[in-house]
């Protein structure tokens, strides 16, 4: 189909076919010169490069991305590459030393390091901010009964005793995380994105309970309780660790809101935080557990949580929503309450 489009444009005297002819001639001469000089030619050929500051091309990005994802024209659209991804892949091509000739966008995308491909940019920050706005007022503030001014905060088990198996892109998992922010709970997240090594644990637990594995799944090792449904998990946390707090305000809307606005963050973020990165699948687990000071509605924390799921890293969440007494600890650790 790509050739058909090019021939159509050539008939209509568009500029692009003339540019392609010139580019192919340059590549042909480059190959010939390299052979004469005994050099190895590497021709990086990205089809579509973009940058968040390049406003003239950004409107085409969704259309091109859709064409690539849907395989329109049987491969007529190659993956769009951010400028820094293209640059890092060219460095990898030179360092790697085995490839030569034409290198396509797909090959360049495969070669670029995850640290570059998955690094958040301005669009990520914007869409994450909009995701937070879509879920207001939830996942931001600690219940008044549990705020830093509370005279007698409830006794809580250590984070290792409350383990929540979940992934960032799941709206029902989001509901539990928002409740944890509201209750100012410290807990361990066992990430379970698609292709995660941890999903087997959930499937085994579901099999023993005679049901299908769903997410989120919680193990309260302090009380010897295992729960699947998000409403049941939230009820358990409120009843046992809520210190008199109920559901977040407006209470009548909190549970039902998952069906109305709970899916919007997942849509805005394009499913990020829902699948383990291919380069991580099958790799050995990390030897240390990370700690993230976090509240669910924070747009920057969301980007970190997505990465933790995609890297399949078990981590501890220390809730620091507005009003959390744990913000003093955060400031001691980092020098800031941000």
CATH number at residue 280: 3.40.30.10
H/E run at residue 282: none
Are 177 and 269 in a shared domain?
yes
For residues 264 and 227, give the distance between their C-alpha atoms in angstroms, rounded to a whole number.
Answer: 25
For residues 226 and 163, give the distance between their C-alpha atoms in angstroms, rounded to a whole number.
Answer: 10
For residues 295 and 297, give the distance between their C-alpha atoms in angstroms, rounded to a whole number.
Answer: 6
End residue of a domain, out of 97, 117, 137: 117
pLDDT at 312: 96
Instruction: Answer for the pair 265, 172: CB distance below 8 angstroms, yes or no.
Output: no
Are 172 and 293 in a shared domain?
yes
Nearest Cα neighbor of 291 from 320, 325, 253 is 320
| Residue count of the chain | 338
pLDDT at 20: 81
Question: Cα separations (Å) of 188 from 99, 159, 163?
Answer: 43, 6, 5
pTM: 0.81
Are 161 and 194 in a shared domain?
yes
End residue of a domain, out of 57, 84, 117: 117
Q: How many domains does one find in the chain?
A: 2
**What's the pLDDT tens digit per position in 116-158?**
988 898 889 999 999 999 999 999 999 999 986 554 667 888 9
What stretches in the chain show pLDDT beneath 50?
A: 151
Are 129 and 45 in a shared domain?
no
Are 100 and 137 in a shared domain?
no
Are 145 and 254 in a shared domain?
yes
H helical segments located in the chain: 2-11, 15-37, 61-69, 83-96, 105-111, 114-117, 122-134, 171-183, 199-208, 230-241, 251-254, 257-260, 264-268, 299-310, 327-334
* Residue 45 domain boundaries: 2-117
Are 93 and 67 in a shared domain?
yes
**What's the pLDDT tens digit per position in 285-303?**
888 889 999 999 999 999 9
For residues 44 and 64, give the distance between their C-alpha atoms in angstroms, rounded to a whole number.
Answer: 19
């Amino acid at each position: 189909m790509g050739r058909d489009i090019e021939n159509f444009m050539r008939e209509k005297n568009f500029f692009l076919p003339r540019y392609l002819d010139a580019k192919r001639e340059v590549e042909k001469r480059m190959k010939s010169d390299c052979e004469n000089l005994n050099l190895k030619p590497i021709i990086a050929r990205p089809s579509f490069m973009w940058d968040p500051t390049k406003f003239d091309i950004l409107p085409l990005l969704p259309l091109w991305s859709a064409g690539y994802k849907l395989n329109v024209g049987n491969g007529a659209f190659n993956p769009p590459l951010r400028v820094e991804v293209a640059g890092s892949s060219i460095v990898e091509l030179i360092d790697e030393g085995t490839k030569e000739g034409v290198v396509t966008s797909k090959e360049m995308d495969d070669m670029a390091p995850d640290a570059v491909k998955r690094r958040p940019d301005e669009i990520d920050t914007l869409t994450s901010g909009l995701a937070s706005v879509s879920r207001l007022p939830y996942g931001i503030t600690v219940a008044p009964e549990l705020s830093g001014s509370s005279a007698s905060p409830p006794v809580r088990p250590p984070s290792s005793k409350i383990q929540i198996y979940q992934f960032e892109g799941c709206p029902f998992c989001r509901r539990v995380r928002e409740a944890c922010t509201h209750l100012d709970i410290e807990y361990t997240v066992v990430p379970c994105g698609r292709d995660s090594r941890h999903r087997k644990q959930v499937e085994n637990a579901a099999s023993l309970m005679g049901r299908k594995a769903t997410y989120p799944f919680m193990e309260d090792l302090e009380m010897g309780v295992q729960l699947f449904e998000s409403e049941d998990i939230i009820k358990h946390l409120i009843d046992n660790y809520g210190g008199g707090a109920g559901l977040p305000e407006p209470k009548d809307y909190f549970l039902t809101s998952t069906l109305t606005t709970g899916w919007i963050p997942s849509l805005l973020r394009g499913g990020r935080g829902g699948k383990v990165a291919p380069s991580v699948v099958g790799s050995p687990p990390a030897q240390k557990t990370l700690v993230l000071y976090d509240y669910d509605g924070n747009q920057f924390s969301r980007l970190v949580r997505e990465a933790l799921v995609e890297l399949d890293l078990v981590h501890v969440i220390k809730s620091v929503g507005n009003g959390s007494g744990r913000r003093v600890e955060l400031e001691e650790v980092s020098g800031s309450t941000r």
